[in-house]
Structure 1
Amino acid sequence: MTGMSVWTACYLGGLGIGTLIRAAYGRGLRERGAPDLGSDPLDTALMALSGLGLLAFPLLYAFTSLLSFADYRLPDVAGIAGVVIFAAALILFWRSHADLGENWSPFVTVAGGQRLVTGGVYRRIRHPMYLAHLLWALALPLILWNGVAGWTMLVAVVPLVLRRMPREEAMMLDHFGEDYRAYMARTGRLVPRLPG
């Protein structure tokens, strides 16, 4: 890449905002003490690949020419659409953390004293944070015009979300029982449930 595009600069700014959001809520998690969960190799691999797509490859693309072999061009309207999708992702990412508060954890676990959150963005959908990650991943190929930097996060996030959602829901059903079953009946996984 020669010179940083306005779209790449927008991504870097958004990445900074997303990092600040996660750091603020991650600090609270550290203060409460993160659970010792052992390791799930596939989950760990998909999270690492997502991290490459979220951070490492975009930074390589922005500040070096190492990935220039995979550059492509799109019309500016694609960059505008990508920035709008990315902004929506960041707002949802923040709101999901804010609504969960001390109930947030990056791990598939229910900690002692955790309550079922059904307000805020969770009033309509059960997994708004995963939706935020999917929107973020969809925005990347429109903002970072590179086949590696733009697409790696999407390639990793989709299987990660598809793997985690059913595991989380089974865990929540086990822990919260009928309250969670009733919550599932009135909400959608990633988009609001249609009436009727």
Structure 2
Amino acid sequence: MNVSVAAAGEIVWMIGIVVWYVIRYPFERRAKRVRIVSHRRSGLDRFALASALFGLAILPAFYVVTGIPRAADYPAHSWAIFVGASMFALAMWIFRRTHKELGRNWSVTLEIRDRHELVCGGPYALIRHPMYTSFLLMGLGQAFLLSNWIAGPAGIIGFAVLFFARADKEERMMLEIFGSRYRDYMRRTKRIIPYLY
């Protein structure tokens, strides 16, 4: 393996994770001050969040720090690092915009906040779940940045578990709260990929 290229991918991945946390932290602190009106937290929700955290952060961090499982390494390529870094940068841009648009409505779990509003601006003008889009891009970027058959794709798997466990529940919750307004919004937007899905 070309160590310098592989190390560059690992460094870019680590920077991306730090940026992710720096973006999220202030919103997480502010969210604690806004009263929760209702929630749909469940064991499945906790499992989905844990899966995403494991695939997008814990397992790859373990690999970056220890090199284990080294047997699953494959040659790193500069073009892959460029693609992965670009995907991670786009993911962080969407992640930041999503948090900014949600403002006081943001929550890490399935919750409705006091004076919750239907957000349709920014990335929400095109897709209903741009935060999941950012996680998908992070997972894809990770697969390009970490040249390991286990640590690389773990992010895509973590994203998939989170998305497929929660997206339908989120949409049902929004339909209960916003009714026909959300139904109309669903008709004019896609789920996570603009114009496609």
- Does TM, normalized by the shorter one, top 0.5? yes
Cα offsets for 1:35-56 (capped at 9, x unmatched): 7858522222222122122222
Q: Deviations over 1:121-145 (max 9, x none)?
A: 1111111001100110111110011
Is 1:149 the equivalent of 2:144? no
CA offset digits 1:69-101 (Å, max 9, x no partner): 221124221111111011100100111001111
For this pair of structures, how many residues does the alignment match? 194
CA offsets, 1:132-191, max 9 Å, x none?
Answer: 001101111100111222122211211320221111111101100111111111111112
Within the candidate set 37, 41, 47, 2:49 is matched to: 47
- 1:88 maps to which residue? 90
Letter in 2 for 1:8: E
Taking structure 1 as the reference length, what is the TM-score of the superposition? 0.90
Aligned to 2:116: 114
Distance in 1 (alpha carbons) for counterparts of 2:41 and 2:126: 31
CA-to-partner distance for each residue in 1:89-118, whole Å, 9 max, x for gaps?
010011100111111111112223101011
Question: Counterpart of 1:179?
Answer: 181
Structure 1 stretch displaced more, 90-99 or 44-53: 44-53
Amino acid at match of 2:157: V
What letter matches 1:61 in structure 2? Y
Q: Name the stretch that deviates more: 3-12 or 73-82.
A: 3-12
Question: 2:166 aligns to what?
Answer: 164
Segments of structure 1 that go 5 or more residues without pairing to the other structure are none
Aligned partners of 1:60 and 1:67 also within 8 Å: no
1:129 is matched with 131
Cα distance between partner residues in 2 of 1:35 and 1:63: 41
Q: What's the offset of the Cα at 1:119?
A: 0.9
Residues 101 and 62 of structure 1: is their aligned pair in 2 closer, same or farther, counting only changes over 3 Å? Answer: same
Identity %: 34
Deviation of residue 67 (structure 1)? Answer: 2.2
The residue aligned with 2:18 is 16
| Greater mean deviation of Cα atoms: 4-13 or 96-105 | 4-13
**1:188 counterpart SS class:** coil
| CA distance in structure 2 between the partners assigned to 1:67 and 1:141 by the alignment | 15
TM-score relative to the length of structure 2:
0.89
User: Do the aligned partners of residues 19 and 35 (structure 1) sit closer, same or farther apart at CA in structure 2, a change above 3 Å counting?
Assistant: farther
Change in CA separation of 1:170 and 1:52 when aligned onto 2, cut-off 3 Å:
same
Instruction: Answer whether contact 1:186 1:193 (CA < 8 A) is retained.
Output: no
Q: Contact 1:49–1:153 at 8 Å: present in 2 too?
A: no
Cα distance between partner residues in 2 of 1:170 and 1:122: 17
Q: Which runs of 5+ in 2 are unaligned?
A: none
